[in-house]
C-alpha cells in the first residue's frame, strides 16, 4: 500500500472459506480500493478481493524449490562424488534446477561464473555443491578454503545450514558462520578450537575478524573459492568498499562465483574487480520473463498515507478469518516502522512476531526459526528477510510503503 503502484500483496494458494465474525475488534475507517493484476497483457481493474492461486507443484515435494524451475537432469547424472550424492539424497533433492543444471558443469571446470537467476531457484546448492567437490580433493588444513559472503545474517545462517546438509558425509570438511550481532570473542574462540574449511559471513563481521582476530588474515590466504551471494543486494546495502578490502586480502589465484537475481551496472563493475577477465556469464532468466515467480498472483493498492494502517488491518483480519493455517509476512521500509507496526498489531490481538536490524541476533534467529516451522503467525519484517530467506508455506506477503531502489521493490521470496 502506498501512494504509487509499487506495493504488492501476494496471496499464494486457495484458502478455505472458513469465515468468522471479525467485527468484535476495533473498527477503522474503510476506503474503497482498486487493485491491478500485474503481468497481464492488459491491466484489469478489479474490485478489492483476494487473488487465488493453486501452485502446480508443491515445493515441499521438490526439495524446497519451486517445481516450475526444475530441469529433467538428475544429480546422479552429474560428475559429483558419491559422498555428495548421498548428502543430496538425504536433503531431499533428486532433480536439478535450471540454474544448477546450467552452472554446475562450468563451475566444476574451475571457471569463474556470474549467474543471474531468480531467488528460490536453487542458487545456494548451485555454488555450494561444486565448491565442496573441489574442497573434498584438498588435504585437510586449518585454512579457510571456501568463503561465502552474504548480505544479511539470516541468509548467512541459511547458507551455512544448507552447507551442513551437503557436508553430511564429508567428514573432513566443516562449516562455520560469522555474523554481526553476536559476540566477536565467542566466534574467535570457536574458530580457533575448531578450524573450518568453509566460512559463511556477512561483510562487516568478516572485516572485524580481519582487523581484530589474530591469525585470521593468514587463514583466509587459503581461499580457493570466493562466493558473493545475492551480489546486487550486497552492493545495494553499501558493502562495495568492504568487499574490495576483503578481496585484497585473499589469493588472486582462486575461483570466484557471483550469484545475483539482477545484474545492474554495479554488479558488472564488481565482477570486473573480483573475477577473471574471461569469466562466464550465465543468464537463466529468459528475455521477457517477469522478475517475480509466475505462480504468485500479485496486486497493488494505491491509497492515501493516512489510510494505510486501516487497509492493512482489514486485509490481515480477512486473511486470518479465511485461512486457519495462515502464515503472513508484512514488509516495512525501515526498522523503526517495523517495530511500531508490530507493537500496534500485537495490541490489537493479532499473533505477531517482528524481525529487524534493531533486534539482537539471538532474537532475530529465534523469531526466524519459529516462523519457519510454524503456522498461524504474522511476521512483521524490515528488508533483512526480503531476499533469499526460505520461509515455507507462506500464504500472504504484503509490502507496506514504497521501496526506493527499483529492483528491490520485487521481493525475491522463496515461498514453498
Q: What is the pLDDT of residue 9?
A: 47
Q: What is the pLDDT of residue 182?
A: 82
pLDDT of 356 above 60:
yes
Alpha helices in 194-334 (DSSP H): 203-212, 216-219, 231-236, 240-249, 265-274, 308-322
Lowest mean per-residue pLDDT among 46-50, 221-225, 380-384 = 46-50
Work out the average pLDDT over 198-207.
Answer: 95
Work out the average pLDDT over 287-293.
Answer: 60
Work out the average pLDDT over 112-128.
Answer: 91
Give CA–CA dist 322/318, Å, rounded.
6
Question: For residue 411, which of 261, 234, 235, 258 has the smallest C-alpha distance?
Answer: 261
Lowest mean per-residue pLDDT among 73-82, 142-151, 222-231, 384-393 = 384-393
**Which tens digits make up the pLDDT trace of 302-342?**
888 888 889 999 999 999 999 989 999 999 888 889 999 99
Residue 6: pLDDT band (50, 70, 90) is very low
Query: Can you list the positions of beta strands (E) in 31-152?
Result: 34-37, 45-47, 70-74, 95-97, 113-116, 146-149
Q: Beta strands 175-178 and 412-415: pairing type?
A: unpaired
Q: What is the pLDDT of residue 289?
A: 62
Q: Are 338 and 381 in contact (CB under 8 A)?
A: yes
User: Cell digits for 340?
Assistant: 511500531
Give CA–CA dist 301/1, Å, rounded.
5
For the chain, give the mean pLDDT: 80
Alpha helices in 225-307 (DSSP H): 231-236, 240-249, 265-274
pLDDT of 14 above 60:
no
Q: Are 149 and 231 in contact (CB under 8 A)?
A: no
Question: In angstroms, what CA-CA distances link 166 with 12, 163, 177, 254, 307?
Answer: 30, 5, 15, 22, 48
**Which tens digits make up the pLDDT trace of 144-173?**
999 999 998 889 999 999 999 999 999 999
Work out the average pLDDT over 389-404.
Answer: 80
pLDDT of 292 above 70:
no
Which domains does the chain carry?
Answer: 9-55+295-415 (3.40.50.300), 72-283 (3.40.50.300)
Backbone angles phi, psi at 71, to 5 degrees: -95, 180
**Which tens digits make up the pLDDT trace of 16-31?**
434 333 334 343 333 3
Question: For residue 352, which of 334, 20, 332 has the smallest C-alpha distance?
Answer: 332
Lowest mean per-residue pLDDT among 49-53, 171-175, 228-232, 361-365 = 49-53
Instruction: Give every CB contact of residue 223 below 8 A, 6+ residues apart in sequence.
Output: 143, 144, 145, 146, 147, 250, 251, 254
Q: What is the pLDDT of residue 306?
A: 85
Q: What is the pLDDT of residue 31?
A: 37
Residue 238: pLDDT band (50, 70, 90) is confident
**31-56: buried (b, 16+ CB within 10 Å) or exposed (e) per residue?**
eebebeebeeeeeeeeebebeeeebe
Q: What is the pLDDT of residue 412?
A: 37
Work out the average pLDDT over 125-147.
Answer: 94
Q: What is the pLDDT of residue 13?
A: 42
Phi-psi region of 31 (alpha: psi -120 to 50; beta: other; left: phi over 0): beta
pLDDT of 5 above 50:
no
What stretch of H or E contains 365? helix 361-373
Q: What is the pLDDT of residue 388?
A: 58
CA angle 132, 136, 140 (to 5 degrees): 120
Q: How many CA atoms lie within 13 A of 68 on its CB side?
A: 16
Check residues 56 and 342 and name the one with the higher pLDDT.
342
Check residues 219 and 382 and name the one with the higher pLDDT.
219
Q: Are 317 and 23 in contact (CB under 8 A)?
A: no
DSSP at 363: H
pLDDT of 278 above 60:
yes
Its sign, for the CA torsion 282, 288, 290, 294, is negative
Extract long-range pairs of 285-293: CB within 8 Å, 24+ residues apart. Answer: 285/116, 285/117, 285/118, 290/38, 290/39, 291/118, 291/261, 291/262, 291/407, 291/410, 291/412, 292/118, 292/410, 292/411, 292/412, 293/66, 293/68, 293/118, 293/120, 293/415
Residue 288: pLDDT band (50, 70, 90) is low
| Chain centre distance of CA 354 | 17
Q: What is the pLDDT of residue 61?
A: 37
**343-367: buried (b, 16+ CB within 10 Å) or exposed (e) per residue?**
eebeeeebebbbbbeebeeeebbeb
Work out the average pLDDT over 129-139.
Answer: 94
Amino acid at each position: 500500500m502506498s501512494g504509487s503502484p509499487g506495493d504488492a500483496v501476494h496471496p499464494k494458494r486457495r484458502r478455505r472459506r472458513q469465515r468468522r465474525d471479525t467485527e468484535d475488534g476495533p473498527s477503522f475507517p474503510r476506503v474503497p480500493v482498486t487493485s491491478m493484476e500485474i503481468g497481464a497483457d492488459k491491466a484489469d481493474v478489479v474490485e478489492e478481493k483476494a487473488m487465488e492461486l493453486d501452485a502446480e507443484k508443491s515445493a515441499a515435494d521438490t526439495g524446497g524449490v519451486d517445481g516450475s524451475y526444475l530441469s529433467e537432469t538428475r544429480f546422479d547424472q552429474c560428475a559429483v562424488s558419491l559422498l555428495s550424492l548421498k548428502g543430496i539424497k538425504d536433503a531431499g533433492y533428486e532433480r536439478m534446477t535450471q540454474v544448477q543444471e546450467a552452472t554446475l558443469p562450468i563451475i566444476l571446470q574451475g571457471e569463474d561464473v556470474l549467474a543471474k537467476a531468480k531467488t528460490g531457484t536453487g542458487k545456494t546448492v548451485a555454488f555450494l555443491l561444486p565448491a565442496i567437490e573441489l574442497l573434498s580433493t584438498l588435504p585437510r588444513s586449518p585454512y579457510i578454503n571456501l568463503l561465502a559472503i552474504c548480505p544479511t545474517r539470516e541468509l548467512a545462517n541459511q547458507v551455512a545450514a544448507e552447507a551442513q546438509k551437503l557436508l553430511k558425509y564429508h567428514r573432513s570438511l566443516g562449516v562455520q558462520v560469522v555474523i554481526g550481532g553476536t559476540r566477536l570473542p565467542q566466534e574467535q574462540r570457536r574458530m580457533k578450537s575448531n578450524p573450518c574449511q568453509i566460512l559463511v559471513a556477512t561483510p562487516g563481521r568478516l572485516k572485524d575478524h580481519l582487523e581484530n582476530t589474530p591469525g585470521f588474515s593468514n587463514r583466509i590466504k587459503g581461499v580457493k573459492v570466493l562466493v558473493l551471494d545475492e551480489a546486487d543486494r550486497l552492493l545495494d546495502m553499501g558493502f562495495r568498499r568492504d568487499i574490495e578490502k576483503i578481496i585484497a586480502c585473499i589469493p588472486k589465484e582462486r575461483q570466484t562465483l557471483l550469484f545475483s537475481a539482477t545484474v545492474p551496472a554495479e554488479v558488472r563493475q564488481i565482477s570486473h574487480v573480483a573475477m577473471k577477465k574471461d569469466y562466464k556469464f550465465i543468464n537463466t532468466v529468459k528475455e521477457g520473463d517477469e522478475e517475480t515467480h509466475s505462480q504468485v498472483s500479485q496486486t497493488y493498492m494505491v491509497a492515501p498515507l493516512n489510510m494505510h494502517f486501516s487497509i492493512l488491518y482489514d486485509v490481515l483480519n480477512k486473511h486470518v478469518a479465511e485461512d486457519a493455517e495462515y502464515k503472513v509476512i508484512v514488509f516495512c521500509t525501515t526498522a523503526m516502522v517495523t517495530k511500531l507496526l508490530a507493537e500496534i498489531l500485537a495490541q490489537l490481538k493479532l499473533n505477531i512476531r517482528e524481525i529487524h536490524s534493531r533486534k539482537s541476533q539471538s532474537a532475530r534467529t529465534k523469531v526466524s526459526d519459529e516462523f519457519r516451522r510454524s503456522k498461524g503467525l504474522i511476521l512483521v519484517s524490515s528488508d533483512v528477510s526480503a531476499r533469499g530467506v526460505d520461509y515455507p508455506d507462506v500464504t500472504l506477503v504484503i509490502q507496506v510503503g514504497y521501496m526506493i531502489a527499483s529492483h528491490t521493490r520485487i521481493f525475491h521470496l522463496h515461498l514453498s
